[in-house]
Copies of this chain bind each other. A is one copy, B any other.
Amino acid sequence: MTNPAALVFDAYGTLFDVHAVVERCEMFWPGKGAQLSQLWRAKQLEWTWQRSLMRRYAPFSQLTRDALGYACEALALSCDEARAAALMDEYRRLALYPDVADALASLHAGGRGLAILTNGSPDMIAPLVAHHGLESLFDAVLSVDELKIYKPAPEVYRLAAKRLGVASNAIGFVSSNCWDALGAKAFGFRVWWINRGAAPLDRLGFAPDGLLAGLGELPAALPE
């Protein structure tokens, strides 16, 4: 395998920990934070797929807000506008996973082209990247929002190849979301799946080129 010309990263769940909202949820609803965060994330994702298939796209910020409302209703938790706004705000400053900053700095210092390809709409992803001061590391922060369809539709991955001006098989794609990694693989990228939770591989007819337990392992795992 030759050295990828560019590395493209998923954002939510890969660089940024979507469950970093648990602490604030726990403050609002003691004992319910983890369960709320799990259901919130699950519905947010389900609706990306369902709305894409229905051809009824709505931006990720709306889906995220809607999914919070659903999850609170399902768990019988009262969520007023102030709490919802506070939690949506958390989503714009989600913590980086501990090994991410060093890995990105190392890859960037090595002269690699780096980009983000995310479901997140610009109103969510831009403040998040800025919050962590990561703008200078990335050549591009690409959102599905301009296509109005979510991952793992092939046109999403095609957007990255086109914008970066790099052939598909020269792009290394990195995601912790197995279905996203395999969607990228189906499209033609070389793929590293960051499997932090030691989950089974999704059965989608494809396998990643590499499997890592954390993003910190990526610099050493790349071919010379």
Instruction: Mark A residues whose CB is within 8 Å of B.
Output: 43, 46-47, 49-56, 58, 63, 66-67, 69-70, 73-74, 149-154, 179, 182-183, 186, 199-200, 202-205
Contact = CB atoms under 8 A, between A and B. Distances in A.
B203 A67 contact: yes
Given A50-B179, A53-B183, A69-B203, 10 more contacts: A46-B49, A46-B179, A50-B204, A53-B53, A53-B149, A53-B152, A54-B186, A55-B154, A66-B203, A73-B200
A6 B125 CA distance: 46
Main secondary structure of the interface of A (DSSP, over half): helix
A38 to B, nearest CB: 12
Nearest to A187: B54
24 contacts: A43-B202, A47-B202, A47-B204, A50-B179, A50-B183, A51-B204, A51-B205, A53-B150, A53-B151, A53-B153, A53-B183, A54-B154, A54-B204, A55-B154, A56-B186, A56-B204, A58-B205, A63-B203, A67-B203, A69-B203, A70-B200, A73-B200, A74-B199, A74-B200
Nearest to A203: B66
Contact of A49 (B50, B67, B73, B200): B50
Contacts of A73: 200
Contacts of A49: 46, 49-50, 53
A73 B94 CA distance: 31
Contact of A52 (B53, B199, B203): B53
B54 A152 contact: yes
A74 B52 CA distance: 28
A96 B149 CA distance: 36
A79 to B, nearest CB: 12
Contacts of A67: 203
Interface core residue of A52, A58, A66, A203 (most chain B CB under 10 Å): A203
